[in-house]
Structure 1
């Protein structure tokens, strides 16, 4: 997955050009359809696989808790393998692993969604607003972003989580901590993109016409940054789920909530690996890996909107493969 940082992001003038400006010629109906197509990634097998993985896991997290029993119910059948009654076996205290997995998936999705939204809002505020206003505001926002950018993320998260009392470490607390430590890099990217768009003719025309600053940002600048914001949102969700799993594995996660990380934490404390109880720790780890892979595949497709050269390379490669197949077919016919 492409990490959008100022060092490896190539700003394409054509990519940041407003879609409505590019489509100013032609009929209105065709223009709106073409603009919509350019705002959406091209459907590929990898994108379809990513959507299926994300949709399946999200559906399991939403509907699963309604179909399973109580995940905290204790039974006299500790550490039993998968069976007809318990498809994913039980824990040391006889708790249903499938029920725990359903509730834990919902908790991890909630944290990922909250962190994704908060980190995107923070990065948009400090990146877009500061770059558009310029002057002292831009310098102050850049200073704040640089301070958070140079601070090591994981140690800061561990320190903050360590100072929060265990009884107060809920989903929102962990989500806010992860969001605070993950927005700075995205803000730098948005600042660079906004500085490029701010100097364009249609933005200057709106400012000369007396449009208010908020309307220029929302109508003229923000639509061109939607692919970048979408990619940063996806990356923030992945980082949040992995970060929460790491914190929970260290015992600093959401103590009063169930997540995939807390499942791994209790599996480690219950010596699941040494006891060979693979059904206790493999399912949550596999769900984290599959969900991250699905989001990464979607992010690869969003990258084609940010950098149109990627789509051009893939189109040329597809044409070359098609030409080679046709050439081989002609040779066989001879």
Structure 2
């Protein structure tokens, strides 16, 4: 068994790295701007995902605001100008066909002046890239199929000839795609090889993992005082995956414990940058994106399955 890569040094003598990927589910102008105002004031730059296209069908699971809404788009563009990264959460909140996906990627670039460097799949959209049982391999896929029987659809984003195939477009335009989510604030402890390339899933340039923060309560539990101290002591990196539309701001008031924890974190001397900036740094420090072995992948898959089916993570 090969040793895990060493944790890189962080710029400017920072003791750890921290970022957030905000899944845009349920995010609207009523519940997320206050969260970003807090992060901006604390100097914590993160990644906010969007749906660039106007939806034409009901949500696959859950919706939220899209870039088709002028006031929302103006706010997102303002976030980008302030230094937040804009990422992709599929092109809209329902399953899209290849032509729609291509149009959505083009619209993203026209709106934000660049391609979407980072992606997290919207749950149950049929164009999911290596989603569902394709996330895992071998015996782990058998376990996954048994435990999700009757509750998973087929996903065709990576399947040539499928109406929603867009693997070539993903490979061309997206640098980093999220896959596994793990407990614990130090994401590099759970997935020391990220960002990594998986030769068995060739339509994705590089994958990254994330730390569990699905809603405000889980986010706070993952990033409590003890977890912050451990993250700093280990000199690690945290990529929190969350939904700022789920409980962080209620009736215009930020959740107090979240404010307390983020304020505390901001004073710890971390490197607070968007997702792609953090992953670029790790890859550069290691001489490139790690080529994941099948043994390493099996370890990640088993760890993720244990977490997923005991805690219901995505």
Calculate the TM-score normalised by the size of structure 2. Answer: 0.22
Which protein has the larger Cα radius of gyration, Structure 1 or Structure 2?
1
